[in-house]
Structure 1
C-alpha cells in the first residue's frame, strides 16, 4: 500500500513544502527528553514549557530554522574527577527538541523559572481579505 501525500488531493495546491516539513519533523528524533507541555493561553497564543532541571540559561539555545522552533541543551563540561555520584538519577544529557511553526506564528519571549523553560508563541489574527479576479475574454485578438 503506498502512502498518500498531500499531492493526492487536487484541491490542496502548494502544500508540498509543508508535507516535506512534517516528514522531516517526524524523523527528527525527539525521544521524549526533556518532557514538555504545550498550553493554549488564548485563541491565538500558546506556551511551550520544557522541564530542563540542571540546565542554566547559557546551557540552552533557542533557534528558528526553516519554520521549526529548535531548543537545544548542552551542559558545560565540569570536572567529573572531583565528583563522586552514589546515584545519578538527574539527566544531564544533551538534547534537541523541535516544534513545527505554522505560517504567521511568531516566537515571543523565553523565560527560565524553577527549572522550567517557558517559550511564548503568538499568531497575529489575519485580516479577512477578499480579492476579485477579473476575467478577460479569450479568442482572436
Structure 2
C-alpha cells in the first residue's frame, strides 16, 4: 500500500493537519460489508444514514456517539434452532459494529426503525461564532469587542 502525503496542501491551509490522519485511517480501515448501509445527503446541511438490519428487533440495536464517532451496534438474541438443517443459509443475523466519523459540526437529530431499516438523521449546525463575519480594517479590536459587535448585529 502506498502512502499519500498531503503536505503540499498544508502550504496554503492552517489547522487541517488532522485531515492527514483521517486519510491514513480511511486507507487502513477495512470497509465493512455487513450490514449494508447508505449515506444520503438531503440539501446542504441534512444527511441520513440508513442501515439494513433485517431480522433485528429495535431492542437489539444501539447507537452511540463518542468523540465525533457514531457507532451503530447490533447484538441479536441467541435464538438457535438446533433442529433445523439449512439447505441454504443466506440471511446473516450476526452481531455487528458500524463506526462512522462525523464532521465537527454534524449533530444527530433523530433515529427511527421501520421495516428492518434503521434511519439516523443528521444535520450540520454551524455555531454563530463560526459563521462568516466582516473584519474591520484599521481598528484594533479585541476578540470580546468583535463578539459584542456580532451579538448586536444578530
Q: TM-score, normalised by structure 2?
A: 0.72
1:60-79 superposed matches below 5 A: 60-78=61-79
Q: Deviations over 1:70-121 (max 9, x none)?
A: 111121222x255514232210122122222111110111100000000000
Question: 2:10 corresponds to which residue?
Answer: 9
Question: 1:40 corresponds to which residue?
Answer: 41
Match of 1:128 among 129, 132, 139: 132
Following superposition, the deviation at residue 12 of structure 1 comes to 2.3
Q: Point out which structure has higher relative CO (alpha carbons under 8 A, 6+ apart).
A: 1
Given the superposition, is the C-alpha separation of residues 27 and 3 from structure 1 closer, same or farther in structure 2, using an over 3 Å criterion?
closer
Structure 2 unaligned runs (5+)? 141-154
Q: Contact between 2:73 and 2:95, CA under 8 Å: does it hold in 1?
A: yes
Q: Say which SS state the counterpart of residue 21 (structure 2) adopts.
A: helix
Following superposition, the deviation at residue 56 of structure 1 comes to 1.4
Q: Contact between 1:44 and 1:125, CA under 8 Å: does it hold in 2?
A: no
Structure 1 unaligned runs (5+)? 137-141
Higher helix share goes to which structure?
Answer: 2
Question: 1:57 corresponds to which residue?
Answer: 58
Q: Contact between 2:10 and 2:16, CA under 8 Å: does it hold in 1?
A: no
- The size of the alignment, in residue pairs, is 135
Question: 1:84 corresponds to which residue?
Answer: 84
Q: Distance in 2 between matches of 1:77 and 1:83?
A: 15
Q: What is the RMSD computed on CA atoms of the aligned residues?
A: 2.6
Q: Distance in 1 between matches of 2:68 and 2:44?
A: 21
Question: 1:139 corresponds to which residue?
Answer: none
Q: Say which SS state the counterpart of residue 94 (structure 2) adopts.
A: coil
Q: Distance in 1 between matches of 2:110 and 2:132?
A: 28
Q: Contact between 1:30 and 1:98, CA under 8 Å: does it hold in 2?
A: no
